[in-house]
Each structure stands twice: as C-alpha cells, then as structure tokens.
Amino acid sequence: MLKKKIRIGIIGYGNLGKGVELAIDKNTDMELMAIFTRRPTESIKNCNNNIRILDINMAQDHVDNIDVMILCGGSATDLPIQGPHFASLYNTVDSYDNHGSIPDYLEAMNKASMGNGKTSGVCIGWDPGLFSINRALFESILPQGATYTFWGPGVSQGHSDAIRRIVGVKNAVQYTVPKEEAVKRIKSGELAELSNRDGHFRQCYVVVEDGADKDEITNKIKLIPNYFADYETNVVFVTEEELIENHSKMFHGGFVIRSGWTGNNCSNNNISEFSLKLDCNSEFTASILVAYARAVYRLNREGHIGVKTVYDIPLKYISNISIEDLCKNLL
C-alpha cells in the first residue's frame, strides 16, 4: 500500500517560495498542492507547470487538502500578519528572522495555532534555526567558554537595498565578510571580546548613474547609520555588466564556533564549530523549511500543538528515515 504523502502549500512565491517548490521535489514523502501569491496569478511562471498558482485570498479555502502551509513571506511586514492568520487555519512552518521581535512573534503564533489545534514551526532557517541549535548545544556541553557567530562571506539583501536608495546609485551588491584576523584568533582558542562589527567588514560593489560623484556616494554609504557607519566598509565602483557578470549569485554562509574549557583549572581547550557554505541562500533555507514541515505534520498528528522552535523538535521528526534505520545506519 502506498503511504499517503504530506500535502504542502506555499504562501508567497519569491526566491524562498521557488526554493520550496524545488525542494519538495527532492522529498519523496511530500507533494505540493498549490502556490498562493499576491501577484496576478497569470503573470507567474513556476518551475513545475503541474502546480496550481492561486490568489492568496483563496488560501483559506484549502484546509481539507493541505497538511502544512510553508510561509515564504518576508519577516519585516509579511509574516507578522500572515503568520498568525495562517497559523489559525493550517499547520505552518516559517523562517521568521527578525531577532529582536522573536518573543512577540512566538506568542502571537502560539496563540493562533493553539486555539485551533494546529502546530507552527517558527524561526526555522539557518539563523535563526541551524545556528541556534548549535549555539544552545555548544553552551550546554561546554558551560565555560565563549560562542561566536560569523556570517558570510555572502550577499546581504538589506544592505544592498540601503545602498540602492542613495541618489545617483543605479545598482549595488553588498557582501558581509568575516575578518580573517578575527576568525584566526577565535579558531586558535583565544577568548576575545568580539562584537559583530569587530568580526566583519562590508564589501560593496556599486553601479552609478553617468556623471555621479563617486566620492560623495562613497561617503554617503559609509555614513548610513546601523548598516555601515560602525563597520569597516569598502566601496568599489563597477559597470552594470561587471555587476551582473560577477555579483549575481546569492551565495552565503557563515559559522557558529564555541571555544570552551574543560578539566582541572580549565587546562584543556575544545573547539566546536558548525559551518555552512551555500551556493544559494534561499534554496538552502527552503530545504530546511521543507524538512521541518515533515516534523510539524508529525507533531500535529501526535497532538503536539502550538508554537515549536528548533529547541522543541527532536531530530527523529525531521528525518524521512525511520528511527530504527537512523539508529542502525546514522547513529
């Protein structure tokens, strides 16, 4: 007898939603039922022609044939509204990443899902998500020590956008890059006092309008508060062609590292590290969402309702391999 597949829906069809569509194809226990979008549905060409593209206003009408809705909207304005709305109708999973507002988001999602017997996996990308797992795991194992998170080298969409808003700028790509010197110190076991800005610099590739004043634009970029003002920032001007040719890939990555001490008088240093090197940030994040959609589905079937983070979910729920085979082959 064929096992029933987990029926998935996608809310939002940007880079992340496209990544989810592709990732579902790689998981034999799932099927994609529909993609919901705010844009005119006839304007959208998706990867697999057999998948229905529907208006987001119809998303509430599919509760009987979608097991888990994967929320692919942005954290700034989409998820605070869409999250609780859909969590009251469906099991959901999302990669909400506005670190400062996580407790509020958790509360809203818990209320929405709990009230309707649904399960919501929230903040499940790579940071927050996989990096969060390792921060907690490392600190539990090595209580004496220090944890550092480095992001990049990789494209930061928010920082690229901030540059593009400057008058005279046609296009821009900003890379967040860990400082080699800082990384070397941490990896050698040094317990350095290191803020995010001590550990990273910002590399900008900028295309300007004809006749724009490059020095003025450079100064303006370096003065943007929060984004650049406190960081070491390097600006390079390139042509539109060079930008497209050399800076179109959405690669990213980073690592969490803990340097911890064990033994009498803390004589021994032990370094744990979790790292990612991603050709495609959005496709990798989408792959995480899809694996955790499986967990959310199973948790809900077992009656575990309400909000769940990576701290609540055992690995056996995430894997498509039976617990017996996990123990036999991967333990």
Residues in contact with a copy of itself by the rule CB under 8 A: 19, 22-23, 26-27, 47, 99, 102-103, 106, 123, 128, 130, 132-137, 139-144, 260, 262-264, 267-280, 283-284, 286-288, 291, 294, 309-316, 318-321, 323-324, 326-328, 330-331
Residue with Cβ nearer a copy of itself (162 or 199): 199
Closest approach of a copy of itself to the CB of residue 59, in Å: 25
DSSP letters spanning 254-320: EEEEEEEEESGGG-EEEEEEEEEEES-HHHHHHHHHHHHHHHHHHHHHTT--EEE-TTT--GGGT-S
Q: End-to-end CA distance of the chain: give it in Å, rounded.
A: 29
Our measurement of the distance from residue 258's CA atom to the centroid of its chain's CA atoms, rounded to an integer in Å, reads 21
Closest approach of a copy of itself to the CB of residue 273, in Å: 5
Closest approach of a copy of itself to the CB of residue 123, in Å: 6
Residue with Cβ nearer a copy of itself (58 or 192): 192
Angstrom distance (rounded) from CA 206 to CA 213: 12
Tell me the residue type at 131. Answer: F
Residue with Cβ nearer a copy of itself (215 or 324): 324
Residue with Cβ nearer a copy of itself (31 or 139): 139
State whether residue 66 is helix, strand or coil: coil
Angstrom distance (rounded) from CA 110 to CA 92: 11
Residue with Cβ nearer a copy of itself (286 or 296): 286
Angstrom distance (rounded) from CA 320 to CA 26: 11
- Which residue has tokens 């959405």? 250
φ/ψ of 281, rounded to 5, equals -55, -50
Q: What is the DSSP letter of 109?
A: H
Closest approach of a copy of itself to the CB of residue 110, in Å: 11
Closest approach of a copy of itself to the CB of residue 286, in Å: 8
Among 201, 216, 235, which residue's Cα sits nearest to residue 166?
A: 216
Closest approach of a copy of itself to the CB of residue 253, in Å: 8
Pairing verdict, β 169-178 and 52-55? unpaired
Residue with Cβ nearer a copy of itself (167 or 331): 331
Q: Which residues pair with 262 in a beta bridge?
A: 268
Closest approach of a copy of itself to the CB of residue 229, in Å: 26
Residue with Cβ nearer a copy of itself (119 or 233): 119
